[in-house]
Structure 1
Amino acid sequence: MIGLDTSHAVAFTKLLNNPHESYHVPGGEVVVAFAGGSPNFELSMSRVKGFTEQLCTRFHVKIVDSIEQVAAESDAILLESVDGAVHHEQLRAIVAYQKPIFIDKPFSLSSQVASDMIRLAEDYQTPLMSTSALRYAEGLTGILQQVDKGKIIGADCFGPMEMQATQPGFFWYGIHTVEMLFAILGRGAQSVMTLSSEGHDAITASWTDGRIGTIRGNRHGNSQFGAIIHFEHGSEFVAIHAQQKPYYASLLEQIIAFFQDGVSRVPLQETHEIIRLIEAANESLRTGRIVQL
Structure 2
Amino acid sequence: MTKKIGFIDYFLDEWHAEKYPEWIESASGGAMKVTCAYGKIDSPTGRSNAQWCADKGIQLRSSIEEVIEESDYLIVLSPDHPEFHEELSQLPLRSGKPTYVDKTFAPDRQTAIALFETAREHGTPLYSSSALRFAAEYMETERIGIETICSVGPGRYENYSIHQIEPIVSLMGSDVKRVMYIGTANSPALLIEFGNGRKATVNHFGWECPFTLTLNYESGQAKIVKPESNYFGSFISQMLQFFESGEPIVEPAETVAIITIIEYGLKAAETPYQWVELPS
Question: Does the alignment reach a TM-score above 0.5?
Answer: yes
The aligned amino acid for 2:146 is I
Whole-Å Cα distance in 2 between the matches of residues 203 and 182 of structure 1? 14
The aligned amino acid for 1:77 is L
Match of 1:29 among 20, 27, 33: 33
* Cα deviation digits, residues 156-213 of structure 1 (max 9, x gap): 1111132xxxxxxx33111111111112211111010011213212211111122111
- Aligned positions of 1:159-198 closer than 5 A: 159-162=153-156, 170-198=157-185
- Aligned positions of 1:201-280 closer than 5 A: 201-218=188-205, 220-233=206-219, 234-240=221-227, 242-243=228-229, 245=230, 247-280=231-264
C-alpha contact (below 8 Å) 1:35/1:52 kept by paired residues? no
C-alpha contact (below 8 Å) 1:157/1:180 kept by paired residues? no
Distance 1:48 1:205, change over 3 A: farther
Tell me the secondary structure at the aligned position of residue 182 of structure 2: strand
> In the alignment, which residue of structure 1 is the partner of 2:123?
125
C-alpha contact (below 8 Å) 1:204/1:213 kept by paired residues? yes
Match of 1:199 among 182, 186, 194: 186
Whole-Å Cα distance in 1 between the matches of residues 245 and 44 of structure 2? 34
C-alpha contact (below 8 Å) 2:181/2:271 kept by paired residues? no
> In the alignment, which residue of structure 2 is the partner of 1:287?
271
Deviation at 1:251, TM superposition (A): 0.7
CA RMSD of aligned residues (A): 2.3
Deviation at 1:136, TM superposition (A): 0.7
Deviation at 1:77, TM superposition (A): 0.4
Residue 19 (str. 1) matches residue 18 (str. 2):
yes
The aligned amino acid for 1:237 is I
> In the alignment, which residue of structure 1 is the partner of 2:8?
none
Tell me the secondary structure at the aligned position of residue 266 of structure 1: coil
> In the alignment, which residue of structure 2 is the partner of 1:45?
44
Distance 1:102 1:204, change over 3 A: same
Deviation at 1:18, TM superposition (A): 8.1
Whole-Å Cα distance in 1 between the matches of residues 163 and 213 of structure 2? 12
Match of 2:151 among 144, 157, 162: 157
Distance 1:97 1:258, change over 3 A: same
Deviation at 1:99, TM superposition (A): 0.7
Deviation at 1:281, TM superposition (A): 0.9
Deviation at 1:85, TM superposition (A): 0.6
Q: TM-score, normalised by structure 1?
A: 0.81
C-alpha contact (below 8 Å) 1:151/1:232 kept by paired residues? yes
Residue 98 (str. 1) matches residue 90 (str. 2):
no
Distance 1:70 1:203, change over 3 A: same
Tell me the secondary structure at the aligned position of residue 269 of structure 2: helix
C-alpha contact (below 8 Å) 1:16/1:80 kept by paired residues? no
Q: Between the two proteins, what is the percent identity of the paired residues?
A: 24
Whole-Å Cα distance in 2 between the matches of residues 92 and 18 of structure 1? 20
Q: TM-score, normalised by structure 2?
A: 0.85
Distance 1:52 1:222, change over 3 A: farther
Whole-Å Cα distance in 2 between the matches of residues 81 and 201 of structure 1? 24
Deviation at 1:223, TM superposition (A): 3.5
